[in-house]
């Protein structure tokens, strides 16, 4: 059964449109080195991505401290904020070095736009990084709205960003569909009474996205064209 009467597509960014884990991992390891802490392989750091920059930093610090008995493993707010500032500084310098669009993303987005769909981004990533990434991957001009994790007082899985998008774009929840790779996307959609499409690739902490019961589940981004035709 295909979605009906949808006019607005709300997309997550990391793990949905962009495989950003390589550059996030590089920045995390640079941060850990600057703090004289243990670094980690990219594949491990991938499992920490998806809840925004601060949570990513907290997970890296906790795992690094847990692996070093000589280091105080208590995470004060001051320690986290210091590490976060270091991470953001490194990441800002290397946003699109090893990151890449997932297969079929650009072509599919262009086709959906041509079909008349209105496109928006709702991510937990800090807002300051969205535009440089969109520009770097030649997606500029496709999205009417770009909301980051710090755009509002709440972020996914809270429904506020999705409801704010509906209000801003002057559409009903029934006209929208949320598309993402993480349980945060699906839970936010359910809380907002918006239908959702779960993508099986990307970052979902090792869990099967089907556990969270999206309305549809796809293995590749390009499959959206068949579903939304």
List the chain residues with pLDDT less than 70: 1, 67-74
Q: Using DSSP, state whether 219 is helix, strand or coil.
A: coil
- Beta pairing, strands 18-19 & 100-101: antiparallel
Question: What pLDDT does residue 229 have?
Answer: 86
Question: What pLDDT does residue 64 have?
Answer: 87
Question: What pLDDT does residue 67 have?
Answer: 67
CA distance 200 to 4: 22
Per-residue pLDDT tens for 204-224? 887 899 999 999 999 999 999
Catalytic residue among 12, 14, 23, 181: 12
Question: What pLDDT does residue 115 have?
Answer: 96
Question: What pLDDT does residue 76 have?
Answer: 85
Element holding 34 (H helix, E strand) = helix 21-34
Question: What pLDDT does residue 172 have?
Answer: 97
Question: What pLDDT does residue 211 have?
Answer: 96
CA distance 166 to 156: 15
Is residue 14 within 8 Å of 31, Cβ to Cβ?
no
Question: What pLDDT does residue 1 have?
Answer: 61
Domains of the chain from N-terminus onward: 8-19+100-227 (3.40.50.1000), 21-93 (1.10.150.240)
Mean pLDDT of all residues in the chain? 93
- The residues near 204 (Cβ < 8 Å, ≥ 6 apart) are 15, 50, 181, 182, 183
Active site residue 12: yes
């Amino acid at each position: 059964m295909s979605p009906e009467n949808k006019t607005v597509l709300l997309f997550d960014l990391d793990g949905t449109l962009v495989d950003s884990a390589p550059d996030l991992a590089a920045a995390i390891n640079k941060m850990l080195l600057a703090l004289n802490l243990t670094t980690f392989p990219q594949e491990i750091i991938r499992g920490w991505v998806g809840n925004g920059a601060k949570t990513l930093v907290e997970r890296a610090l906790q795992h690094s401290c847990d692996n070093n008995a000589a280091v105080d493993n208590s995470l004060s707010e001051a320690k986290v904020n210091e590490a976060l500032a270091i991470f953001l500084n490194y990441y800002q310098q290397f946003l699109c070095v090893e990151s890449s669009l997932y297969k079929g993303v650009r072509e599919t987005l262009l086709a959906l736009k041509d079909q008349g769909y209105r496109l928006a981004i709702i991510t937990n990533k800090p807002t300051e990084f969205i535009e440089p990434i969109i520009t770097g991957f030649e997606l500029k001009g496709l999205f009417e709205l770009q909301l980051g994790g710090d755009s509002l007082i709440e972020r996914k899985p809270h429904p506020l960003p999705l409801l704010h998008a509906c209000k801003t774009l002057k559409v009903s929840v029934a006209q929208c569909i949320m598309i993402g790779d993480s349980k945060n996307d699906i839970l936010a959609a359910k809380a907002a009474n918006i239908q959702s499409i779960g993508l099986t690739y990307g970052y979902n902490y090792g869990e099967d996205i089907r556990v969270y019961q999206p309305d549809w589940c796809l293995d590749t981004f390009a499959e959206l064209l068949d579903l939304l035709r």
